[in-house]
Structure 1
Amino acid sequence: MESSSFSSTKRRRIQRSPSPVYKLDDEDESFELYIPVQQRRQQKLAKLTSWGANADKQRARKQQEELDDREDAQKEEELRREKARMERTLLMEAQEVHSRKATEDSKKTITEKAEEADAEILEAIKSRRKLASDMELAKGIQYTESLKTSWRPPKYIRDQPEEQHQKVRDKYHILVEGEDIPPPIEHFADMKIPEPILRFLKANRIISPTPIQLQGIPTAFSGRDIIGIAFTGSGKTLAFCLPLIMMALEEETKLPFIRGEGPVGIILCPSRELANQTYENVVTWCGALAKEGKYPQLNTLLCIGGISMNEQSHVMSKGLHIVVATPGRLIDMLEKKRFTFNNCKYLCMDEADRMIDLGFEDDVRNIMSFFKRQRQTLLFSATMPRKIQDFARESLIRPILVNVGRAGAANLDVLQVVEYVKQEAKMVYLLECLQKTPPPVIIFSENKNEVDDIQEYLLLKGVEAVAIHGSKTQEERQYAIKSFKSGAKDVMVASSVASKGLDFNDIQHVIIYSMPKEIEDYVHQIGRTGRSGKTGIATTFVNMSTPEQTLLDLKYLLMEAGQKVPPFLSTIDDPRAAQGGSLKGCSVCGGLGHAISNCPKLEDAKRREMASHRGADDGGGY
């Protein structure tokens, strides 16, 4: 009994829950310490004193929040504007620009608008690399000084004041531009030309220099680069050939040339006929120089297509002094290394505006790349528009512009007759025109087929006529020119290939059967007569098929030369005058009756460029 009660008591003791444990340390968060009254009063006082400072902080915080809100609002506005700007279309911008330009244009006169349009076109076509070799362009080689020569004018001319030299230029209507211009010389003897050449010139009734010669030859003798402009038949060939002959003579006298050496200089021509004519002149003058045995013989090479170079093997076997060439055959000879330009220091381009402007520019640059040293460059032509002059100035070294009359003006020794002839009546009227003067007569047509038709018609009528155009073989072209020059044939019917620089003796009459679109071609064609101080007649057929712009160019040219303007030309009004536009003429082709925007020469160049691009595209496949 006792044991059982003891067990139950023990069991109850064990099952009883443990006594609570109280923590009296400071770590108990639920236990609040007693704060004395004194300390509580001090804390309350501290709160009361800090109330004013907290109010200031709250106000400052509120102001800062307001400032932040404003900045956020500004940033949101900027983001909204930026988004709107990004979403704005190019069309809207273009419309705004157009609107502003329209407002500005409304304030300008028609003249100002035309001048701005011409300036834009000029700027677009002006971006051409200057004429220099690839080596010079790659290495950045720029020559600043002209070639030095041993030639000097006579002392009495050097001692004359510049005013005296200008009087001589004014006397012969010579315009010059440039720096340190050599003086003009009025007598061949004072130019220090060798006696044999002086006697030869005198024997051929060349007594005194022409205006282009009396300023051009001393300038070339001085080693200066020249842009020479003078009307057709004014003696430009002698002005650029004689300085080259004298340079070659000086080099040969110092040390005779042997095989593989030379040439000293090169003359580039745009056509085979012109190159052949220049070559014959150079050979004649060099022959006259060496005739008496006092001076050495100078060797000249003709380098043109259509002839075998083996025919001139006797020249190639010696040292070369002068080369007269067309670009294509010259490049071929240089690439084959038949001769080199290692010592060549004279380059002349005859009809230079055509050489640079009518598809020859790449060939000229190619030829330039064969030069190994500085050279003297001469550009001569009867028509050299302002665009070509500006381009030439950038390519030459301290150039001197020698201009006798306006570039592109007609020869004043030619009587210009313009007649209205219907197309179907041209052939019949042609026979009447041939009765105006005795032979020889040249007839020009722009169409090759028309050239052949005119020749056939004249032959049927018993007129001794020959024809020349670009599709003829070289032998046919040479025969036509030789027989016409010799007088065996009375009439030569030609395309524009015979209009550039060719010199025919005693031609009194030129008939232009079809008026060329470009007034430059007309100036060259009528310039086959009235040469070397002689007079001549040029009869031109026009009709309804002739473009009105071409007729307007012709009208202004007649007025400038003081020629009679027929009534049907007088009635043609210049639209630029009615609109208050500029009447200064075209700087691309020199025509006085149109602006650059209507230039037929520029349009033709664009057509050729587009055709070449199409040809390149078509030839790209297999």
Structure 2
Amino acid sequence: MADHLNMEIEEEDDYVEYVPVAKRRAIEAQKILQRKGKSEAFEEEEEKIKLVEAKPSLLVKASQLKKEQPEISHAEQVFQQEKEMIEHLSDKKTLMSVRELAKGITYTEPLRTGWKPPLAIRRNSKKACDAIRKQWHIIVEGDDVTPPIKNFKDMRFPEPILKKLRAKGIIQPTPIQVQGLPVILSGRDMIGIAFTGSGKTLVFVLPLIMVALQEEIMLPIAPGEGPFGLIICPSRELARQTYEVIEQFIEPLMESGYPELRPLLCIGGVDMKSQVDVVKRGVHIVVATPGRLKDLLAKKKMNLDNCRYLTLDEADRLVDLGFEDDIREVFDHFKAQRQTLLFSATMPTKIQNFARNALVKPVIVNVGRAGAANLDVIQEVEYVKQEAKIVYLLECLQKTPPPVLVFCENKADVDDIHEYLLLKGVEAVAVHGGKDQEEREYAIAAFKACKKDVLVATDVASKGLDFPDIQHVINYDMPAEIENYVHRIGRTGRCGKTGIATTFINKNQSETTLLDLKHLLQEAKQRIPPVLAELNDPMDDVDAITDASGVKGCAYCGGLGHRIRDCPKLDHQRSQQIANSRRDYFGSGGYRGEI
């Protein structure tokens, strides 16, 4: 019986223990609370996710900002980049002496001279002055610009100078002389820009003679003193030519009873002792190249204590990379304010901005666009294969009667062409920086005197040299920099005469250089050869940049066929800078260029 009862209990497996009502209610309440807690946590989590989604990431923010900003055109982007580049280039040290920079010396007023234009000219209204400038195509910038004067007599030069000008066939002033001479005579600092062959030399030589004459009359110069005025040129040939112009005007003054003025030619390749002897007697005017001038000043053979007149001829070349430090060292020797003048046919915006720091209230006198070619030169461009150039040169020489000037890029080509022409029976001479001073002087003198028919030269003869009778210039090589081309062809078509310039081009020239040439020909309304006309011109796409920046073409070298980003001159100078710094590291000084 007991075993039977046990079996029944084991079979009832679905037995559930009785739970009191109070306990059941407590368990249900607990379950409800748990469910409620989970839902609240879930809601909190959802809110957090929503907040994260509402706060965008930095990448999302950046993309939103880009969408919000107005679209900048390609032209505006290029202009902004160029502006930054020009500002960076202008960050170089200013063209001032170390003493002035260290002491914070700045000059606010230009030097005053005793010169004044005649009363009738002083009374000319601004409108009348502007009419004269418009008639002579003169553009001026600056405050209180001296009125232009249309004849030499009203500029109050002594009679011997006026006679000499007439004897040289100079009756009427050229546009740069009409405005430039009065500005300089009145003591103002000036930047002078004019076509090659426009008479720039007289603009700074005649006022310097007047300054020296005035100083000598007031207080005669003592032995070892001087100079009163200094002219710095980039090449020995140009310095000698300027010195000879000064001598031409000093001689008639002495013959007429005016005090003796002693000029000095201070260039390399000449015995320094003869130069020091002139200084010991007392020198009024010095015409120099940077290298020899720096030597004389460093050795204390000469000082600039009394110097109050400084001209940088072909200033763009002098202020460029090769001579910039030399010029700054010369500036260190000035003890007081000076009248500073800068002259060139090519004066890019970058050089003008850089030079303005050295000038006090400067007047910019511009006759034609800076860097534009002389309109009196007929420019012919011909495609000639490299191997055929030397033979074709003989044909070109027959275009015009002699004298003819042939330009090459390197010294080896000058020597090869010179030898070839001599073998063909052509009376030729050659000039380049590798020749000694005697050879260079003989070649220039023989060519100027028409004893030789052809002068073959590097760019050492392209800046400023005056060959009045040249009808034809041949560019055997198209120079890489358009500035050099402008200076080269400017050796012909001088003083109102017409000249021809023939340039050989081929695949050796870069497209940038050829585009610069194309634009220069277009500006001068010359014939464009098919090989240049077919070039793809990127400047067509950036016309709007000119309007935005006010600078046509390149702000660094003045080339019209490219912008500053693609400037070959800037690239070349940067690579040269790197090469020079490497040379200095290995213990050998950098090449300074031809002086």
Q: TM-score range by the shorter chain?
A: 0.7 to 0.9
Residue 610 of structure 1 aligns with which residue? 578
Runs of 4+ in 1 over 4 A off after TM superposition: 95-106, 578-581
Residue 539 of structure 1 aligns with which residue? 502
On the 8 A contact 2:225/2:279 being kept in 1, the answer is no
Q: Supply the AA of the counterpart residue of 2:214.
A: E
On the 8 A contact 2:116/2:186 being kept in 1, the answer is yes
Query: Equivalents in 2 of 1:598, 1:541: separation in Å?
Result: 23
Residue 22 of structure 1 aligns with which residue? none
Q: Supply the AA of the counterpart residue of 1:158.
A: R
The answer to whether the aligner puts 1:556 opposite 2:519 as a matched pair is yes
Q: Which of 65, 70, 79 pairs up with 1:115?
A: 79
Change in CA separation of 1:330 and 1:101 when aligned onto 2, cut-off 3 Å: farther
Q: Which of 499, 510, 513 pairs up with 2:473?
A: 510
Q: Supply the AA of the counterpart residue of 2:233.
A: C
Query: Equivalents in 2 of 1:501, 1:447: separation in Å?
Result: 19
The answer to whether the aligner puts 1:586 opposite 2:554 as a matched pair is yes
Query: Equivalents in 2 of 1:579, 1:209: separation in Å?
Result: 40
On the 8 A contact 1:181/1:400 being kept in 2, the answer is yes
How far residue 99 of structure 1 moved from its aligned partner, in angstroms, is 6.5
Which whole-Å deviations, capped at 9, do the CAs of 1:483-510 have from their partners, x for residues lacking one? 1111111101000110000111300000
Q: Which of 296, 320, 334 pairs up with 2:283?
A: 320
Change in CA separation of 1:580 and 1:175 when aligned onto 2, cut-off 3 Å: closer
- Aligned pairs (5 A) from 1:269-280: 269-280=233-244
Change in CA separation of 1:193 and 1:579 when aligned onto 2, cut-off 3 Å: closer
Q: Which moved more, 1:348-357 or 1:128-137?
A: 128-137
Query: Equivalents in 1 of 2:446, 2:524: separation in Å?
Result: 33
5+ residue gaps in structure 2? 1-47, 547-551, 589-595
How far residue 398 of structure 1 moved from its aligned partner, in angstroms, is 0.3
5+ residue gaps in structure 1? 1-76, 82-91
Query: Equivalents in 2 of 1:296, 1:352: separation in Å?
Result: 31
Change in CA separation of 1:431 and 1:399 when aligned onto 2, cut-off 3 Å: same
- Aligned pairs (5 A) from 1:351-390: 351-390=314-353
Query: Equivalents in 1 of 2:329, 2:336: separation in Å?
Result: 15
Which whole-Å deviations, capped at 9, do the CAs of 1:566-600 have from their partners, x for residues lacking one? 12211112124247763520010000000000001
- % identity of equivalent residues: 59
Q: Supply the AA of the counterpart residue of 1:366.
A: E
Query: Equivalents in 2 of 1:113, 1:100: separation in Å?
Result: 21
How far residue 544 of structure 1 moved from its aligned partner, in angstroms, is 1.6
How far residue 616 of structure 1 moved from its aligned partner, in angstroms, is 2.0
How far residue 240 of structure 1 moved from its aligned partner, in angstroms, is 0.5
Query: Equivalents in 2 of 1:598, 1:344: separation in Å?
Result: 41
The answer to whether the aligner puts 1:423 opposite 2:391 as a matched pair is no
User: Aligned with 2:178: secondary structure?
Assistant: helix
- Aligned pairs (5 A) from 1:296-307: 296-307=259-270
The count of residues paired between Structure 1 and Structure 2 equals 530
Q: Which of 272, 290, 293 pairs up with 1:309?
A: 272
How far residue 434 of structure 1 moved from its aligned partner, in angstroms, is 0.4
On the 8 A contact 1:558/1:565 being kept in 2, the answer is yes
User: Aligned with 1:520: secondary structure?
Assistant: helix
- Aligned pairs (5 A) from 1:122-161: 122-161=86-125
On the 8 A contact 2:276/2:301 being kept in 1, the answer is no
Change in CA separation of 1:164 and 1:272 when aligned onto 2, cut-off 3 Å: same
How far residue 358 of structure 1 moved from its aligned partner, in angstroms, is 3.3
How far residue 198 of structure 1 moved from its aligned partner, in angstroms, is 0.3
Query: Equivalents in 2 of 1:544, 1:153: separation in Å?
Result: 55
Query: Equivalents in 1 of 2:311, 2:86: separation in Å?
Result: 26
Q: Which of 127, 141, 147 pairs up with 1:163?
A: 127
> TM-score, normalising length from structure 2?
0.86
Q: Which moved more, 1:375-384 or 1:108-117?
A: 108-117
Change in CA separation of 1:313 and 1:578 when aligned onto 2, cut-off 3 Å: closer
User: Aligned with 1:424: secondary structure?
Assistant: helix
Residue 242 of structure 1 aligns with which residue? 206
Residue 291 of structure 1 aligns with which residue? 255
On the 8 A contact 1:148/1:222 being kept in 2, the answer is yes
The answer to whether the aligner puts 1:597 opposite 2:565 as a matched pair is yes
Greater Rg over alpha carbons, structure: 1
Change in CA separation of 1:415 and 1:591 when aligned onto 2, cut-off 3 Å: same
User: Aligned with 2:281: secondary structure?
Assistant: coil
Query: Equivalents in 2 of 1:288, 1:565: separation in Å?
Result: 48
Q: Supply the AA of the counterpart residue of 1:227.
A: I
Change in CA separation of 1:290 and 1:98 when aligned onto 2, cut-off 3 Å: farther
Query: Equivalents in 2 of 1:532, 1:457: separation in Å?
Result: 32
- Aligned pairs (5 A) from 1:355-504: 355-504=318-467
How far residue 395 of structure 1 moved from its aligned partner, in angstroms, is 2.0
Q: Supply the AA of the counterpart residue of 1:222.
A: S
How far residue 105 of structure 1 moved from its aligned partner, in angstroms, is 9.0
The answer to whether the aligner puts 1:251 opposite 2:215 as a matched pair is yes
- Aligned pairs (5 A) from 1:28-107: 107=71
On the 8 A contact 2:428/2:453 being kept in 1, the answer is yes
The answer to whether the aligner puts 1:567 opposite 2:537 as a matched pair is no
On the 8 A contact 2:316/2:346 being kept in 1, the answer is yes
On the 8 A contact 1:299/1:319 being kept in 2, the answer is yes
Residue 350 of structure 1 aligns with which residue? 313
Q: Supply the AA of the counterpart residue of 1:603.
A: D
Query: Equivalents in 1 of 2:473, 2:69: separation in Å?
Result: 48
Change in CA separation of 1:313 and 1:575 when aligned onto 2, cut-off 3 Å: closer
On the 8 A contact 1:110/1:580 being kept in 2, the answer is no
